[in-house]
Structure 1
């Protein structure tokens, strides 16, 4: 896959807790130069839409832990759409899913998808879930009429990886081929979390992903054939 084919499949991301408008503009400049999308914090959407109207803007809802109320997520999504977001990435309530409250998870997602006319991707936080729970999370996303499912925010991956290091275990955080294969049976997949280079991105796409979320979008494309 060459650079021009890969670029539109990348959501070039800046979502750290210290992200400034200057950081957002840098990512928008890079996205525009290389032909990527940009994934940015909700507070920056309106400014980003004015600054780079030609870049597809993705923002996050209920980020990073998914523990907002359903009403708050719906309101946040509507505000982001009206501010200029083209797509929304919403974090599920992992605690409710693990408690077996699948109906609540599904209803919360459905409230958001019904409230906006733009695609909603559902972040299921694979690092925190068993395979059985991943299936249930994907089923909830399908039932809620989501457009895609996404592996991770990246935040849970970091927590899990640190615990594994502390316990002397192999680190397994981030998007994996196995998770992408599982999730792609339900909806298109956005692989996000630890995708830092071209080979990793291609592996995710070959596993069934249709989008890559990464803060290293430029590095991924620089490694791609022209």
Structure 2
């Protein structure tokens, strides 16, 4: 299993410096990861650093709370694409989902997908805050809105991905969309198990450890 091609090499800490982003991009090229995942202010820098490679650029939107206004999220997504992002990882409005405002959540996802055109859209539903029923609803909303991936976590919530979450999401969306597991994936065995359960991509800051260990 070529684990490197499943990995979004991720650095999203508030304290991240340009120097650290350059290092992230260098590591991604060295290990041939699928993508780097960075905050929107660093998309241009990542684009410059990765210009002679096949490594994609993913940027997070409405991160990490998901509570920004829809126009703000749309504008941020558009700017990321303009700056060179290939993929957008957006956070849903978790509070509205929990309030049962499912159509509003779906509409926001749809507007962001429309704004970014052919670019890949991953929808972070932040599973640690949701019941199983809410996870199913959020996954279906992502599918109905035309997103490409449903994703477990920001890595900034109370917990990250779980095996049961990936199984639930896979059973919900089947093969109609892809799944990204993120948050707490720190070793090869865990990474391989997520892929076996149906994950198509892994968001992790431990990518080098994962691909270099036995």
Q: Which TM bucket (shorter chain)? A: over 0.9
Distance 2:97 2:199 in 1: 23
1:181 counterpart residue number: 167
SS in 1 for 2:200: strand
2:79 counterpart residue number: 79
Distance 2:69 2:160 in 1: 26
In the alignment, is residue 95 of structure 1 matched against residue 81 of structure 2? no
1:40 counterpart residue number: 38
Unaligned runs of 5+ in 1: 161-172
Contact 2:154 2:160 (C-alpha < 8 Å) held by counterparts:
no
Moved more, 59-68 or 182-191: 182-191
Query: Which of structure 1's runs of 4+ aligned residues deviate more than 2 A?
Result: none
1:50 counterpart residue number: 48
SS in 2 for 1:209: coil
Moved more, 181-190 or 212-221: 181-190
2:184 counterpart residue number: 194
Contact 2:8 2:36 (C-alpha < 8 Å) held by counterparts:
yes
Between the two proteins, the alignment pairs up a number of residues equal to 206
TM-score relative to the length of structure 1: 0.89
- Aligned mate of 1:27, from 19, 24, 30: 24
Report how far residue 143 of structure 1 moved. 1.0
SS in 1 for 2:89: strand
Mapping 1:2-151, distance limit 5 Å: 5-36=2-33, 37-53=35-51, 54=53, 55-117=55-117, 118-151=119-152
Moved more, 178-187 or 213-222: 178-187
Distance 1:107 1:192 in 2: 24
Unaligned runs of 5+ in 2: none
SS in 2 for 1:38: strand
SS in 1 for 2:100: coil
Distance 2:22 2:5 in 1: 18
- Over the aligned positions, Cα root-mean-square deviation in angstroms equals 0.8
